[in-house]
């Protein structure tokens, strides 16, 4: 018996398909020589980020205790180690805030011997998180003048869907900011696709190259839907070579299905549950409407989502090696 091909399915609905609907999808796939397969998804970095963040917070608390006990040099060593951790792991979304707090502690250490050095540390911190109001009984802020503002424009190439985070804040494609060192993160699907520390001294454009979503992955087909008239709507640039989208039909007991190749889909069809019977006539009719010859299909199973949420499954069968990532600053 020949091995069954696999098919990637985008299921749109308030609930996962169960019972007769699930059986209908299973039969629909089997009659076309396909089977369901769970996708390989890109893991998010939440657990790792939580661990690193906790480690950095502990280092800050340790440096405060060392400074309070009068051991400024040991506190400096702790802060240097913290800075190295943040530079080694810029993927932390709160990296800018942690670095700013680290710089302010350096300013406290420097203040008794050199007010100018303390002011320099404060300016670094201000660039990352903005100027703070002076807390009660705290060391007065030593910055002599506000930092010069510059305008930064972000040009992200390669990826179609992404979020820009500048100094820990989700922003648009341009922002006004203080001249100095800043933290930039480009995030895709809950993970850092690119992140790093960037020094900006004048207005200009930061160009970043990041890989697009892997073919047939969750992010690749995000945004696919059925229009008001039941026509499939697919965002441009989908890389999955063969996939399908399905949803509950316009009447109870039906399923709406459309077959797609990249960002092009065939007209959607409506299938009733009872059309998936095992009668010879029905089976022969279904074979005549089998998938086109170009299709190498992958199907995924079920998932529970909110009423307006898109559930995507992908096999990752068409993944390619990610291109290198780089950043270019052009004033």
More confident: 131 or 94: 94
Give pLDDT, residue 62. Answer: 97
Q: How far is residue 149's CA from residue 179's CA, in Å, rounded to a whole number?
A: 6
More confident: 46 or 26: 26
pLDDT tens per residue, range 73-121: 999 999 999 999 999 999 999 999 999 999 999 999 999 999 999 999 9
Q: How far is residue 27's CA from residue 255's CA, in Å, rounded to a whole number?
A: 13
Give pLDDT, residue 245. Answer: 87
More confident: 263 or 6: 263
Report in angstroms the alpha-carbon separations of 82 from 48, 116, 176. 17, 23, 28
Report for 6-15, 172-181, 182-191, 306-315: range of highest mean pLDDT: 172-181
Q: How large is the average pLDDT for residues 181-197?
A: 92
Q: Minimum mean pLDDT among 19-28, 70-79, 224-233: which range?
A: 19-28
Give pLDDT, residue 323. Answer: 47
Q: And the tokens for 260? A: 């797609």
Give pLDDT, residue 5. Answer: 77
Q: And the tokens for 187? A: 């995030």
More confident: 157 or 316: 157
Q: How large is the average pLDDT for residues 21-25?
A: 84
316 Cα distance to chain centroid: 17
Do the beta carbons of residue 107 and residue 76 sit within 8 Å? no
Query: Shortest CA distance to 90 belongs to which of 200, 193, 163, 189?
Result: 193
Q: Does the structure show a pLDDT above 60 at 295? A: no
More confident: 305 or 87: 87
Q: Does the structure show a pLDDT above 70 at 311? A: no
Give pLDDT, residue 6. Answer: 79
118 Cα distance to chain centroid: 38
Q: How far is residue 109's CA from residue 83's CA, in Å, rounded to a whole number?
A: 16
Dihedral class, residue 326 (left if φ above 0, else alpha if ψ from -120 to 50, else beta): beta
Q: How far is residue 211's CA from residue 150's CA, in Å, rounded to a whole number?
A: 28
Q: Does the structure show a pLDDT above 80 at 305? A: no
For the beta carbon of residue 18, count every other beta carbon within 10 angstroms: 10
287 Cα distance to chain centroid: 40
When the pLDDT of each residue in the chain is averaged and rounded to a whole number, the result is 79
> What element of type H or E holds 119?
helix 115-129
Q: How large is the average pLDDT for residues 178-183?
A: 96
**Contacting residues for 231 by C-beta, under 8 A, at least 6 apart:** 267, 268
pTM metric for this prediction: 0.70
Query: Shortest CA distance to 224 belongs to which of 191, 181, 260, 188?
Result: 260
Residue ranges of domains in the chain, CATH in brackets: 5-39+215-312 (no CATH), 46-129 (no CATH), 149-213 (2.60.40.1120)
Query: Shortest CA distance to 96 belongs to which of 216, 212, 192, 185?
Result: 185
Give pLDDT, residue 146. Answer: 47
Query: Shortest CA distance to 218 belongs to which of 318, 323, 311, 317?
Result: 311
Q: How far is residue 112's CA from residue 85's CA, in Å, rounded to a whole number?
A: 27
Give pLDDT, residue 208. Answer: 96
Total residues found in the chain within this entry: 331
Q: Does the structure show a pLDDT above 90 at 24? A: no
Give pLDDT, residue 17. Answer: 85
């Amino acid at each position: 018996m020949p091995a069954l091909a696999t098919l990637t399915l985008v299921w749109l609905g308030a609930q996962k398909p169960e019972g007769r609907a699930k059986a209908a999808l299973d039969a629909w796939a089997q009659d076309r020589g396909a089977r369901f397969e769970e996708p390989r998804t890109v893991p998010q970095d939440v657990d790792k980020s939580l661990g690193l963040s906790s480690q950095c917070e502990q280092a800050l608390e340790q440096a405060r205790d060392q400074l309070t006990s009068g051991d400024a040099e040991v506190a400096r060593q702790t802060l240097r180690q913290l800075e190295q951790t943040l530079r080694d792991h810029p993927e932390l979304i709160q990296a800018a805030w942690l670095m700013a707090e680290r710089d302010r502690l350096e300013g406290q250490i420097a203040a008794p011997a050199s007010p100018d050095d303390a002011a320099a540390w404060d300016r670094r911190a201000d660039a990352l998180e903005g100027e703070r109001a002076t807390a009660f009984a705290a060391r007065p802020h030593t910055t002599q003048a506000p930092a010069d503002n510059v305008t930064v424009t972000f040009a992200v190439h390669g990826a179609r869907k992404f979020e820009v985070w500048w100094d820990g804040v989700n922003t648009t494609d341009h922002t006004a900011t203080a001249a100095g060192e800043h933290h930039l993160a480009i995030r895709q699907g809950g993970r850092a696709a690119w992140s790093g520390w960037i020094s900006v001294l004048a207005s200009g454009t930061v160009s970043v190259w990041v890989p697009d979503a892997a073919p047939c992955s969750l992010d690749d087909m995000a945004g696919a839907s059925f229009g008001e008239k039941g026509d499939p709507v697919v965002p441009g640039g989908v890389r999955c070579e063969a996939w399908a989208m399905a949803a509950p039909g316009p009447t109870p007991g039906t399923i709406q299905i459309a077959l797609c190749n990249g960002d092009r889909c065939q007209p959607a069809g409506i299938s009733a549950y009872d059309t998936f019977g095992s009668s010879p006539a029905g089976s022969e009719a279904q074979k005549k409407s089998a998938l086109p010859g170009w299709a190498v299909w992958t199907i995924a199973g079920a998932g529970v989502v909110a009423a307006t949420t898109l559930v995507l499954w992908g096999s990752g069968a068409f993944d390619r090696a990610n291109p290198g990532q780089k950043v270019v600053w052009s004033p």
